[in-house]
Amino acid sequence: MTTITNIDDLRVLAKRRVPKMFYDYVDSGSWTESTYKANTDDFQKIKLRQKVARNMEGRTLTRTMLGTAMTMPVAIAPTGLTGMIHPDGEILAARALANFGCRYTLSTMSICSLEDIAEQVAKPFWFQLYVMRDRDFMLSLIERSKAAGCDALTVTLDLQIIGQRHKDLKNGLSVPPKPTLKNWINLFTKQAWCWKMLKTKHRSFGNIVGHVKGIDDPSSLFSWTSKQFDPTLNWNDLEWIKKAWGGKLIVKGILDAEDAKIAANSGADAIIVSNHGGRQLDGACSSIQVLPSIVEALKESAVEVWLDSGIRSGQDVLKAIALGAQGTLIGRAYLYGLGAMGEAGVTKALEIIRNELDLTMAFCGLTDINQVDQHILLESTIPHL
């Protein structure tokens, strides 16, 4: 493939280059994958209104997310195991985002650590925190985030328990990869990935190994992490985290207007309308379907509403902004680029989305992303719950 014109081109290339267990980890949802599919399908149902004979010069996509000016209203959603999609993946992606003028979010379950990103990128980024049973470890992550220069903390609320992802179970997903015959055969076909992985020191969960007593081999790591996600998580925990953090707080995993109001009252500065990319509750609504109701619920609030799950193009970003989102986040779209071409692939994914966003906004008769609202959408196609 010599010419890459859209995100799906990157996906096809990533599938060729990334080991199956890690590609499937990215490109799958839970159970029947109905919500995973609805996330993208529902964007396509929303239609745009074309405007002509408008001055299209001087277009700008600059927009703020939590007071930070972005070259476009797109940040990176936290994604675990990114360093297994491409060796040193978190470092490469964070560098690409910093150079592009957008924000990167590092996952708790990343391969490269907070300290790795701070050292190798040396620009502000966000950190995503899971609520774990080990509260002392959570506090240490919060302090490490401050030391690494993170200027916002994201708390994911929809992973108290893990959704059943059939492909991961069938592939025997693990970090490092399990040396089964099936996995070895597949790895042999991904020689470039293997060679780069041999050359890096980052092959395990960098935010955990070396920071938790007794975690010194793959089996102890797996045993510890499998028991840490806390099913007792509640809104009091969010207030406790806000107090411990003391800075800007982003709450991820909101699909319900009532939950959005509670999150706002619990200290959130921004909420992310998200169904975890269709990886948790199969059968839940798509993120874009519930976005208008959540925007309406928080219209009197200073809390920003963002959206992730399902964005594969700049047109999807524009539709989310038109429906009231202050910003958006992408996960799979940039991971496809990372798996396809490393740092250059992440940059390419961002360039594709920016170009599509810019051109579509112009075709809808506008030159400033901050002017975009529901008027650019065909009213009969706007989602209503």
If DSSP codes are grouped into helix, strand and coil, which group holds residue 67? Answer: coil
Q: Where are the alpha helices (DSSP H) in 68-209?
A: 82-85, 89-100, 114-121, 135-147, 166-171, 181-188, 191-199
Instruction: State the DSSP H helix or E strand holding residue 242, giving kind and residue range, or none if neither.
Output: helix 235-245
Q: Which of 161, 36, 26 is nearest to 80 (CA)?
A: 26
Residue 283 amino acid letter:
G
Q: Which of 62, 47, 3, 68 is nearest to 354 (CA)?
A: 62
Residues within the annotated binding site for glyoxylate? 25, 165, 276, 279
Cβ atoms of 78 and 302 closer than 8 Å: no
Distance, first Cα to last Cα, the chain: 42
Select which of 202, 276, 375, 384 is catalytic.
276
Residues within the annotated binding site? 25, 78-80, 107, 128, 130, 156, 165, 252, 274, 276, 279, 308-312, 331-332
**How far is residue 104's CA from residue 99's CA, in Å, rounded to a whole number?**
11
**How far is residue 165's CA from residue 178's CA, in Å, rounded to a whole number?**
18
Q: Exposed, middle or buried, 197 (CB in 10 Å: 0-12/13-18/19+)?
A: buried
**How far is residue 32's CA from residue 123's CA, in Å, rounded to a whole number?**
40
**How far is residue 158's CA from residue 342's CA, in Å, rounded to a whole number?**
29
Q: What is the largest CA-CA distance in the chain?
A: 67
Q: Exposed, middle or buried, 282 (CB in 10 Å: 0-12/13-18/19+)?
A: buried
Q: What are phi and psi of 311, to 5 degrees?
A: -75, 120
Confirm whether 276 is a catalytic residue: yes
Q: What is the DSSP letter of 234?
A: -
Instruction: State the DSSP H helix or E strand holding residue 318, giving kind and residue range, or none if neither.
Output: helix 314-322
Q: Nearest 5 degrees, angle CA 63-CA 68-CA 73? A: 35
Residue 204 amino acid letter:
S
Residues within the annotated binding site for FMN? 78-80, 107, 128, 130, 156, 252, 274, 308-312, 331-332
- Which residues are marked as active site? 276
